[in-house]
Structure 1
């Protein structure tokens, strides 16, 4: 018995406190940064870029904790939408739309994206640019790669971030974003930045942090490449009959509006669906048949490319509708 007690005391003695664990992580992180720098140098990045990018590199325990412990809430759209789009945000969205109307209409025409959706995305992602995240992007991405669960993904994002710095699009100290490395007023990951960011103001930099032209055009360019249509809306809330087969309610199951009409789908007020033969749509139920039901058009799919969350898409769509039909 004494031997067992002694072993238990020894085991307890080697349990690390949270502070000790973080110190251990930070020590390993410093070695990891040096390894990353050597690899990046071998891959062709300049020493000057690496010196700038990692000059203030830090280990973000908050990033690791946020990734491992993302909160799960039991919500429905009826409880989520008022949180995502409170009245003050709907009012501010219309104000921002009117403030930037000329630029938005110009961008919208060039990219084939209705301006209200650009503003709605801007509002949902970063509250119209007022909160873009306070994390150093290089440090956040390096931390997430070091954490190891998705090292390959975050190293790819880190390499893209280094390219952004090397091409001179943003100064390192201004390259701020979320704990996971999503950047600027559009919250692009570095790979999305490289694929879709636009130098709309022509200053030689794709600046989704500070240039409103670059912010709006980059968002529009993303949607355009995701298959956006400027002749239809995102979707509409509908009602379904009591005997509706809920198994066919999925985003990949497209039917014409006439086919959905024949299956008993109607507008929310009970009237017939639009009579357009050039539109196919899906019926989606973000919660279940007792919750909100939407007829999802092609632009719903495009928004799902941006963020694969039906709640996110519903919030963007709802805010865009509030801009189109202000109360």
Structure 2
């Protein structure tokens, strides 16, 4: 999800990843007269100076606010995923298989995009896969309604007014029809989930039809993603980084992707590729990223400037690592979804297929959790807690391999 803001972006993305994170809350009652008054004020404001009166009226005259977006705006996550759970659900065998099929289908287009932007095809595929599962999950909330509501109620109204104005400009210029302009509660939309303001900075008409359509045109969406990464400083020909092996006893107290050193400095420190081979020259400088350092170690990575461009897409190192690993696997038919160094846990995370299996077992035990969709939301977590208590596990609501194995054995 591009440029939703440093705090809001990871939360919105996590909501899409995990489903509903907490019990359903009652949306606030919104005053329609106040909403109409707010819209009238917005129409004459500086932020909307590039939106003509006809466009504004056409898309707002019968518009009602959506109070449910305010619940999502103020929601605080009650469950924080460890990195191994996060990666397990985003980089699983299903997504890798889908990615390899899509990569084969769009390879010629991706090569032409690379010629223009310098962004490697597999990197673009990684973003596409994590953001929308290769176009399969785009969100379903009308952007005009969501952003109009957020422009008039709740916090961060100034920010959302800019996004609302950009949305109306997209409609005014005819890039995407109103019925297709749907996405997340916060306004991210399209195959790789651009915010509307990002659309005007990075969207590209790659298929040459005169419109920048990042919803229905895969070439436009992929080229626009590459343009965003190019604008963020992507370096042609450099890898994002690689998994590495650290020498025993190495001081990692200052490890950070931001603390970059020449690759020769890492060689002198005894760092090698994870298989023991020397560090290559393809990455001139890198920072040391150890995602689970505070949880006991696990995989370590040297990451370069191109990893930072992935981070800029959504301010989360775990998110950037998911894209990076998925990009490796899409381009490597023999690659394994697991990193070489295991995570520091005896209870690894579940893939989406395993989440569905877990939910099926919960349904068979009479838990009312809806359908087995692979998204672990509030109802599934409550059911997990109940089963954990019954089995003598810590009732924390986490879906892991141990719980799945116990439920399979107990049936």
TM-score (norm 2): 0.70
Tell me by how many angstroms 1:21 deviates: 6.8
The 2-side partners of 1:113 and 1:316 are apart by 14
**Counterparts of residues 1-327 of structure 1 (less than 5 Å):** 22-39=28-45, 43-275=49-281, 279-288=284-293, 290-327=297-334
The 2-side partners of 1:76 and 1:23 are apart by 36
3-state DSSP of counterpart to 1:133: coil
Distance 1:265 1:60, change over 3 A: farther
Tell me by how many angstroms 1:252 deviates: 2.0
The 1-side partners of 2:112 and 2:47 are apart by 41
The 1-side partners of 2:291 and 2:63 are apart by 40
3-state DSSP of counterpart to 2:116: helix
Distance 1:19 1:201, change over 3 A: closer
Q: Is the 8 A contact 1:281 1:297 kept in 2?
A: yes
Report which of the two has the higher share of helix: 1
Q: Is the 8 A contact 1:120 1:320 kept in 2?
A: yes
Q: Is the 8 A contact 2:181 2:189 kept in 1?
A: yes
3-state DSSP of counterpart to 2:174: coil
Structure 2 match to 1:13? none
3-state DSSP of counterpart to 2:28: helix
Tell me by how many angstroms 1:42 deviates: 7.3
User: Could you list the per-position Cα deviations for residues 156-192 of structure 1 after superposition, in whole angstroms to 9, with x for gaps in the alignment?
Assistant: 1112222222222112222111100011112111111
The 2-side partners of 1:114 and 1:43 are apart by 38
Gaps (5+ residues) in structure 1?
1-17
The 2-side partners of 1:244 and 1:19 are apart by 48
The 1-side partners of 2:36 and 2:26 are apart by 16
Q: Is the 8 A contact 1:53 1:165 kept in 2?
A: no
**Which segment drifts farther, 117-126 or 234-243?**
234-243
The 1-side partners of 2:209 and 2:27 are apart by 46
User: Could you list the per-position Cα deviations for residues 56-81 of structure 1 after superposition, in whole angstroms to 9, with x for gaps in the alignment?
Assistant: 53322222111211424333322221
Gaps (5+ residues) in structure 2?
1-23, 335-411
The 1-side partners of 2:271 and 2:82 are apart by 22
Distance 1:42 1:261, change over 3 A: closer
3-state DSSP of counterpart to 1:246: coil
Distance 1:202 1:140, change over 3 A: same
User: Could you list the per-position Cα deviations for residues 275-320 of structure 1 after superposition, in whole angstroms to 9, with x for gaps in the alignment?
Assistant: 45x6111111223161332110111011111111111111101111
The 2-side partners of 1:312 and 1:151 are apart by 27
The 2-side partners of 1:42 and 1:111 are apart by 32
The 2-side partners of 1:263 and 1:25 are apart by 63
Q: Is the 8 A contact 1:284 1:296 kept in 2?
A: yes
TM-score (norm 1): 0.87
The 1-side partners of 2:30 and 2:172 are apart by 31
The 1-side partners of 2:26 and 2:324 are apart by 46
Distance 1:80 1:22, change over 3 A: closer
Tell me by how many angstroms 1:92 deviates: 0.6
Tell me by how many angstroms 1:55 deviates: 4.2
Q: Is the 8 A contact 2:51 2:165 kept in 1?
A: no
**Which segment drifts farther, 261-270 or 305-314?**
261-270
Structure 2 match to 1:11? none
